[in-house]
Amino acid sequence: MEQSRPKRKRLESSALDMSPFMDIIFILLVFVMLSISFQKKFTVMEMDLPSSIGSSEATEADLEISVLANGKIMTENKEILLEDLITNIKKNPPSRLRLNGEKELSYENFIRITEKIKESGLEKIDLGLKLK
């Protein structure tokens, strides 16, 4: 006679079905990869500044600043540091300020200097082009 074995209960898996979770992760991964590929960084923007053909009469400014292509800041034919310039503007704010930039001046330097001047409290800045 055959020995009867006790019947084993079928063990049910208590694990979760991960396939819907993996589908969602895959869709998010595709979305992130596509959104990253559309991002572009502009580190340098080439600008070709036009020559002035306006009136030859320039209004007098209390303070005239020239920014050279290499980033040096000049006022009254002397080089000045940006921090010193901002300190001077805060102590004695000019009624009119003219910011002249060389044609080869990088856009990054121009924006950095303009933002610092605006932070000092001046709202209106006249812009000019410094010819070599």
Higher pLDDT, 1 or 61: 61
- Closest-CA residue to 99 (of 75, 126, 59): 126
Q: Is residue 35 part of a domain?
A: no
Q: Is residue 56 part of a domain?
A: no
Q: Is residue 10 part of a domain?
A: no
Q: Is residue 21 part of a domain?
A: no
Number of domains in the chain: 1
User: Whole-angstrom Cα distance, residue 83 to residue 106?
Assistant: 19
Q: Is residue 111 part of a domain?
A: yes
Task: Identify the pLDDT of residue 45.
Answer: 61
Q: Is residue 79 part of a domain?
A: yes
Q: Is residue 57 part of a domain?
A: no
Task: Identify the pLDDT of residue 22.
Answer: 92
Q: Is residue 23 over pLDDT 90? A: yes
Higher pLDDT, 117 or 42: 117
Helix (H) or strand (E) holding 66: strand 63-67
Q: Is residue 2 part of a domain?
A: no
Q: What is the mean pLDDT of the chain?
A: 78
